[in-house]
Structure 1
Amino acid sequence: MDARDMERLTGRARVLAGGGRRRVLGIAGPPGAGKSTLAGWLADRLEGLAVLVPMDGFHLAQAELERLGRAGRKGAPDTFDAAGFTALLARLRAPEPGVTVYAPAFDRALEEPVAGSILVPPEVPLVITEGNYLLHDEGPWAAVRPLLDEAWYVDLDDRDRVPRLVARHVRFGKEPARAERWVAESDEANARVVARGRDRADLVVRMT
């Protein structure tokens, strides 16, 4: 994307923020496509009009994943509290006067969710949420799309996305060989699931 594209996206988000009621913008896409980067950039550019609430705060804790036998598939649809995420979105869409909502975040260094990390004051007009499965239409995830006033799908060529994803895993502590194996066996399986929701987006954002 160039500067003109970024300004266009900022303007589109600003229109949502000026709609007269709380709106929710969802940014979906496969692992490593740039969802978090775009969402964080937009929240910063909107200067107090938006709060970023990532889906990753609803990862199940590592201990629970191990109990369920799902630790080797961390990041798959059934390794999140999808119902909890949906309940939070519903609450965020209907803010109560004087009530601040506290949302969880995900600490990549710890690889764990952290409760009560993100505060959403009632007067903020736009909530931006980002994550892999906002457009997923199976199980409890199907309830997410109707709670989004607008949904964007972030797309990045796999030749750029996959090495970037491997590098991110290495940056947060995985050995290079393990990072490559994790991306090939886990992240890319999840990316194929995510891609099935692309047509449910209002806008496809092509990253470079």
Structure 2
Amino acid sequence: MTTTPGESTPPTVQESIPQLVERARALITGGGRRILGLTGTPGAGKSTVAAELLDALGDQAVLVGMDGFHLANAELIRLGRRDRKGAPDTFDVDGYVALLARLRAQTSGVIHAPLFDRSIEESIGSAIAVPAGIPLVITEGNYLLHDAHGWDAVADHLDQTWFLDVDASERRRRLVARRESYGHAPDAALAWVADVDEPNAQLVDPARDRADLIVRVSPTGEASARTEGVPA
């Protein structure tokens, strides 16, 4: 379920990780398989929130990331897109959508999903096992609500999609720190964020209006500030 064009803006909440964990628990109380999508601009904290949810939910959840469907570097070179790796048209979108459909319909056995290994910048097939008994599949990535290159088919397979929102200055700080952690010099890190991450953020940000919920993550213990009609 997602907000469609013409409908009202999705509600915004400011919540701590424990509060988001309770939201995720509520999603699976009815039984059966649910798929939760976490999206947002680069540096919004998608991977961090996904990891926190997994840690809290234990064997009730598994993460199947969008990044597992990066096209291989050799294929990107063949297509002339290697220098744009991470752009919307550098993924196997049809494969991702097909896997989400399988996960949503799964009632028995184990489904295996790919994992993106940043140490080699390639995906490893069948690296993530998803048994049928796991009630919550979390998937995260920039383009879950993108409306081009086939990404518009993703939303139909998600039960809820949360768009993680963060101040632009904090997002840039995180992204520069990330590049430096990869070994980039400070000037090179700043240039990468300006030339690659910022244009990507501008591409992703409009998708917030198609989310079920806009989430601003607050520190644990901080009071939750809810807006736009979300009940306390």
Partner of 1:61: 72
* Partner SS for 2:71: coil
Q: Give 1:147 deviation, angstroms.
A: 0.7
Counterpart of 2:190 in structure 1: which amino acid?
E
Work out which of the residue numbers 127, 144, 151 in structure 2 matches 1:141.
151
1:193 to 169, 188, 203: 203
Q: Distance in 1 between matches of 2:123 and 2:185?
A: 22
Cα deviation, residue 4, structure 1: 6.1
The alignment-based identity, stated in percent, is 56
What SS does the aligned partner of 2:215 have? strand
Letter in structure 2 aligned against 1:49: Q
Q: Which amino acid aligns with 1:15?
A: A
The TM-score, its normalising length taken from structure 1, stands at 0.93
- Residue number in structure 2 paired with 1:101: 111
Cα pair 1:22 1:127 within 8 Å, conserved: yes
Given that 2:15 and 2:217 are in contact with CA atoms closer than 8 Å, whether structure 1 keeps it comes out as: no
Conserved in 1, the CA contact under 8 Å of 2:17 and 2:49?
A: no
Query: For residues 109-159 of structure 1, what are the alpha-carbon distances to aligned partners after superposition, in whole Å with 9 as ceiling and x for unaligned?
Result: 212111111110110001000000001112310000111100000111111
Residue matched to 1:19: 30
Determine the C-alpha separation between the residues in 2 that align with 1:115 and 1:173: 27
Quick check: 1:44 aligned with 2:18? Answer: no
Instruction: Give the unaligned 5+ runs of structure 2.
Output: 1-13, 219-232
**Which residue is equivalent to 1:174?**
184
1:4-23 deviations in whole A, cap 9, x for unaligned?
62222111100112221101
Is the radius of gyration larger for structure 1 or structure 2?
Answer: 2
The answer to whether the 8 A contact 1:136-1:142 is kept is yes
Distance 1:57 1:174 in 2: 24
Residues 75-94 of structure 1 aligned to structure 2 (within 5 Å): 75-94=86-105
Kindly provide the amino acid, as one letter, of the partner of residue 43 in structure 2.
G
Name 2:20's counterpart in structure 1.
9
Q: Which runs of 5+ in 1 are unaligned?
A: none
Is structure 2 residue 216 aligned with structure 1 residue 206?
A: yes
The one-letter code matched in structure 1 to 2:181 is R
Give the structure with the larger helix fraction.
Answer: 1
Does structure 1 conserve the Cα–Cα contact (< 8 Å) formed by 2:15 and 2:215? no
Give the match for residue 131 of structure 2.
121
Is the partner of 1:84 in helix, strand or coil? helix
Distance 1:83 1:74, change over 3 A: same
TM-score, normalised to structure 2, is 0.84
Partner of 1:156: helix, strand, or coil?
A: coil
Partner of residue 31, structure 1: 42
- RMSD of aligned Cα (Å): 1.6
Q: Which runs of 4+ in 1 moved over 6 A?
A: none
CA deviation vs aligned residue, 1:163-186 (integer Å, no higher than 9, x gap) = 211221221233433332222112
Number of matched pairs? 205
